[in-house]
Amino acid sequence: MTITSPHLGSSAGWTDARLLYALEEVVEKELNRHLKVAKDWMPHEYVPWSDARNFPGFFEDGEAWDKEQSKVTEIGRIALVVNLLTEDNLPSYHHEIASLFGRDGAWGTWVHRWTAEEGRHGIVMRDYLLASRAVDPDKLEQFRMAHMSEGFESDNSHSMLHSVAYVSFQELATRISHRNTGHQSGDPVCDRMLARIATDENLHMIFYRNLLKAAFEIAPDLTMQAVRDVVVNFRMPGHGMPGFERAAAQMAIGEVYNMRIHHDDVLEPVLRFLKIMEIDGLGPEGQKAQEELGLFMGGLNAEATKFDEKLAARKARMAARAAG
């Protein structure tokens, strides 16, 4: 497909302000579509309140937390903490997108609506974790304080296009992480809760993905470069939390989120929807970015295959030990 810019003759003419203005109608259209399909839901309806009891502190009958009280698997517990701490930084995320997208018009309406919907995720996850005693509440709060005290600054805050490209992939990555955490949690109540959250994340991904597609139609070279930069340098928003590297490694082995999942279930679906490698009519910089993106995806797939082989070998060793 040939895409050319109907607005400006060169990439140099595009500024964030011009792009925000040019995409305003698309934002309004996508916002209206989102509001029609999004369903309101009540976080408190997904929490097993009957399992809850007092913790030590002000209550004389408080019962100290113990790992044996939880129905959740070890990998489920690790992933739930990572996922919740990621959601906890919502104030910083709101500040980032409000600063980039503005608080007026359709952009502003989306910013506030997205923030309100995301707020439910942290509420229901924390209530579930505390009511079900899935994690150590003291450590959870200590991690939250440490993580939020550091704040959050996106790798893409310098550019509106980079930010739109990033969230197109990140929202899907978050959906996949929540969904797989539910599957691996060992608790049907947890699985149902995270499935509900994942539905929201999918709708958010569709909003940004469609916006990114529209950006390709008006500024193809700049958008291709932004997608290339984001894909090559992608990091999950929780990367700065305490113990993230170790937790991420455990989640990779536990098949909650790893290179194969990132390649097959996050990057590929968005790139395929955008028909990235079919776009022609690009300038030199756009063509270079497109080629580099293709090379990177090939390299990532090869690395994911190596990871798959190591994971399969690890499973075989564990099965042999269990049988012996």
Any domain includes 223: yes
Strand partners, 305: none
Closest CA to 55 of 143, 133, 141: 133
Reported as a pLDDT band with limits 50, 70 and 90, residue 316 is confident
Flag whether 6 is in a domain.
no
Residue 229 lies in a domain: yes
List, as one string, the DSSP characters of 82-123: HHHHHHHTHHHHHHHHHHHH-SSHHHHHHHHHHHHHHHHHHH
Residue appearing with tokens 């707020």:
119
Please write the tens of the pLDDT for every residue from 259-310: 999 999 999 999 999 999 999 999 999 999 999 999 999 999 999 999 999 9
Q: Which pLDDT value is given to residue 6?
A: 40
User: Is 118 marked as binding a ligand?
Assistant: yes
Q: Is residue 36 part of a domain?
A: yes
pLDDT (tens digit, 9 = 90+) per residue, 162-213? 999 999 999 999 999 999 999 999 999 999 999 999 999 999 999 999 999 9
Angle at 130 between CA 248 and CA 126, to 5 degrees: 60
Each residue of 92-129: pLDDT tens digit?
999 999 998 989 899 999 999 999 999 999 999 999 99
Is residue 202 domain-resident?
Answer: yes
Does the residue 5 lie in any domain? Answer: no
Q: Are 90 and 98 in contact (CB under 8 A)?
A: no
Q: What span, in angstroms and rounded, lies between the C-alpha atoms of 127 and 277?
A: 44
178 annotated as ligand-binding: no
pTM: 0.91
3 in a structural domain: no
117 is in an annotated binding site: no
pLDDT at 229: 96
Q: What domain range includes position 302?
A: 16-50+65-323
Domain membership flag for residue 45: yes
Angle at 263 between CA 274 and CA 215, to 5 degrees: 25
The residue behind tokens 């399969």 is 312
68 is in an annotated binding site: no
Q: Is 204 annotated as a binding residue?
A: yes
**CATH code of the domain containing 267:** 1.10.620.20
Q: What percent of the chain is helix, strand and coil (3-state, nearest 5)?
A: 75, 0, 25
In tens, the pLDDT along 25-48 reads 999 999 999 999 999 999 999 999
- Residue range 142-156: mean pLDDT, rounded: 86
Q: Is 171 annotated as contributing to ligand binding?
A: yes
Contact 228, 289 (CB under 8 A): yes
- How many structural domains compose the chain? 1
Closest CA to 308 of 270, 246, 262: 262
pLDDT of residue 12: 58
